[in-house]
Amino acid sequence: MTETTWDLSVFYESLQDPAFRRDIEEIHERLSEGHALLASDTAPLGQLEGLTRLLETLVNKLYKAFSYCNLTLATDAQNDVALKYMDELSQLMVDVEVFQSAFTRHIGSLENLEDLIAASPLLTENAFILREAREQAAHLLPESMEKWMLRMSLSGGDAFSKLRDQLMGTHLVELDGKQQPLPAVRGMAYDPDPQVRKMAYEAELASYAKVELPMAFCLAGIKGEALTMAEAKGYPDPLTRQLAESRMDHETLQAMLTAIQEALPDFRRYLRAKARLLGYQDGLPFYDLFAPVTKAGARYTPQQAQKLLVDVFTKVHPKLGTFIDQAFENRWIDLYPKEGKEGGAFCAGNHELKISRILSNFVGSFSDVSTLAHELGHAWHNRCLESVGVLMADPPMALAETASIFNETLLNHTIRQSADDETAFGLLEGNLQETTQVVVDIYSRYLFESAVFEARKTHIPSARELKDMMLDAQEKAYGDGLDKEFRHPWMWVCKPHYYSLNQHFYNFPYAFGLLFGLGVFAKYQEQGNAFMPRYDALLAACGSGKVADVAASVGIDVRSTDYWRSALSVIRGEIDQFVAMVEKR
Ligand SMILES: [Zn+2]
């Protein structure tokens, strides 16, 4: 790796590129064509085929322009030109949504959908999406109100969501007399020096006072709109809507949550053992959740991270190894933190261009390498989805984490096998750290979001109330694993997922993804490298079916609590191992 910023020129030369403007114009033209075709008396088969093709083009063009702006802003939060275009593209996205729902309404009105599908290769290829549209037709907004409700959202939930991005993108924390970006300060939670971790935590918490009021309004605005929208669409609540749109059902969610609740005492055993190791008597303080437990704490340069990842994945899946090498060599990754750059990490793919781009805030820890493995999993997932049409290349939340978790697990597993005792102990703990986040912290976020929705039904919750709800959720999830004196009442300010306009409860899919990914990894352990072609086929199918059906294709029954218990028992085994190692020290 020689360049550590990503290359976006495959999208456009710049925001001034005439091709960028042309794509926006083309979206307008295709939209007019689409509405004309809907209103025409074209024969049903030709009409449905034409509409499907138009939708494919619209999705391609819109996401190309939208991703370009979005990625530009991700590393440069205050880019004025990109911000202006984002407003225009948000408007256009609403127009495309309006067309999409007109299309859905049209499909709902067809009496012979199955005959039309059978008569056309294009429609057969898109059969799952068309059948799903027929189910969705029952949950459309009333036609006369639709456009106005979506437009109102631009000055409601959508504006609050953008305000949140601006507030957090420019949020600075005063530490050591210097103003520092939030991700850099949060990154200090991994520092080997306990004083640094504690000071960073205190500085972070102190910094939230200045933004908690606008952030509470952002959250209330977005969640209030979600409640209104769910009701207008005929769902009993936002969770039911989210499950339907995630191609999941209550039965699956309940099976998983039951198994998670049963497993909480195990996670608390891990947290209390880690606390004892660090010299605490009453559970772990929040600022030491990510504390390294070994001195080793290997550091990685980007080149070392690249070599490690390429080596590990080539042994299991040579094509994936080569793919990862290309990601580093061909500037698919924006590596380092900087002011004005978004925190955390993500991967964004583009189906038409057959590319992915990865944002990370790499500071050289093993956890950063593991994050890269995670995001590269998403990129590989995108690559596998290139074999299906664009309308089926968008897996639901619950399956979107399959490849990322598989990658993380394989990396950890491989490294631990050949490591010395001290390193293995550090890696085991690092793994449990993350697992605890994905199961226990995610469970607390699920409880918090449920409480926010409940409160928002009657009023706008104040920052004070939100902090109490967060502490309550942390108590229910972490229990005596965390020290009561040192928790994190502002987690709702720093986690972006609560502020997504279209995805609510963007928490349980992470737990689902982890535990499902572990289940898929167990299949790999059973079958070895011979499993990998089946694995790629599973990834390619993730956007073409209901979650339970996609899972069943590799022999996993997600509606059974026992499946989730068995996935969690793998983690329990690791916790037993960790606790025994702590007792020996
Ligand atoms: Zn992910």
Average pLDDT for 135-144: 89
Distance of CA 322 from the midpoint of ligand 1 (Å): 21
Distance of CA 233 from the midpoint of ligand 1 (Å): 29
Distance of CA 63 from the midpoint of ligand 1 (Å): 19
Quick: pLDDT tens for 482-498: 999 999 999 999 999 99
Residue 578: is its pLDDT beyond 80? Answer: yes
Residue 333: is its pLDDT beyond 80? Answer: yes
Task: Kindly indicate the confidence band of residue 80, based on its pLDDT and cuts at 50, 70 and 90.
Answer: very high
Please tell me the predicted confidence (pLDDT) of residue 359.
98
Q: Provide the percentage of residues in the chain whose pLDDT is more than 90.
A: 85
Dist. CA 292–CA 290, nearest whole Å: 6
Fold of 233-297+411-585: Neurolysin; domain 3 (1.10.1370)
Distance of CA 234 from the midpoint of ligand 1 (Å): 30
Distance of CA 401 from the midpoint of ligand 1 (Å): 5
Distance of CA 142 from the midpoint of ligand 1 (Å): 35
Dist. CA 382–CA 262, nearest whole Å: 34
What are the residue boundaries of the structural domains of the chain, listed by start?
18-154, 233-297+411-585
- One-letter amino acid for residue 478 of the chain: Y
Distance of CA 400 from the midpoint of ligand 1 (Å): 7
Distance of CA 343 from the midpoint of ligand 1 (Å): 14
Phi, psi values for residue 113, rounded to 5°: -55, -45
Distance of CA 206 from the midpoint of ligand 1 (Å): 29
Quick: pLDDT tens for 381-423: 999 999 999 999 999 988 998 999 999 999 998 998 888 888 8
pTM: 0.83
Distance of CA 403 from the midpoint of ligand 1 (Å): 9
Average pLDDT for 195-219: 97
Distance of CA 345 from the midpoint of ligand 1 (Å): 8
Residue 297: is its pLDDT beyond 80? Answer: no
The answer to whether 411 and 369 have CB atoms below 8 angstroms apart is: yes
Q: Provide the percentage of residues in the chain whose pLDDT is more than 70.
A: 100
Average per-residue pLDDT for the chain: 95
Distance of CA 517 from the midpoint of ligand 1 (Å): 11
The answer to whether 488 and 205 have CB atoms below 8 angstroms apart is: yes
Distance of CA 28 from the midpoint of ligand 1 (Å): 33
Average pLDDT for 342-349: 94
Work out whether the CA dihedral 137, 139, 145, 151 comes out positive or negative.
negative
Residue 237: is its pLDDT beyond 80? Answer: yes
Please tell me the predicted confidence (pLDDT) of residue 421.
87
Please tell me the predicted confidence (pLDDT) of residue 519.
85
Distance of CA 270 from the midpoint of ligand 1 (Å): 24
Distance of CA 399 from the midpoint of ligand 1 (Å): 10
Distance of CA 221 from the midpoint of ligand 1 (Å): 26
**How many C-alpha atoms does 415 have within 13 Å on its Cβ side?**
25
Distance of CA 578 from the midpoint of ligand 1 (Å): 26
Distance of CA 376 from the midpoint of ligand 1 (Å): 9
Task: Kindly indicate the confidence band of residue 499, based on its pLDDT and cuts at 50, 70 and 90.
Answer: very high
Please tell me the predicted confidence (pLDDT) of residue 289.
97
Average pLDDT for 373-383: 98
Pick from 85-99, 103-117, 553-567 the range whose average pLDDT is largest. Answer: 103-117
Quick: pLDDT tens for 13-51: 999 999 999 999 999 999 999 999 999 999 999 999 999
Please tell me the predicted confidence (pLDDT) of residue 417.
87
Distance of CA 375 from the midpoint of ligand 1 (Å): 6
Task: For domain 18-154, give the CATH number.
Answer: 1.20.140.70
Distance of CA 407 from the midpoint of ligand 1 (Å): 11
How is residue 28 written in tokens?
């307008």
Helices (H), 278-335: 302-316, 318-329
Distance of CA 81 from the midpoint of ligand 1 (Å): 29
Distance of CA 404 from the midpoint of ligand 1 (Å): 6
Please tell me the predicted confidence (pLDDT) of residue 466.
98
Residue 52: is its pLDDT beyond 90? Answer: yes
Distance of CA 371 from the midpoint of ligand 1 (Å): 9
Residue 171: is its pLDDT beyond 90? Answer: yes
Residue 448: is its pLDDT beyond 80? Answer: yes
- Pick from 346, 337, 344: nearest CA to 379: 346
Residue 518: is its pLDDT beyond 90? Answer: no
Distance of CA 59 from the midpoint of ligand 1 (Å): 22
- Helices and strands, counts by H and E, the chain: 26, 5
Distance of CA 362 from the midpoint of ligand 1 (Å): 16
Distance of CA 377 from the midpoint of ligand 1 (Å): 8
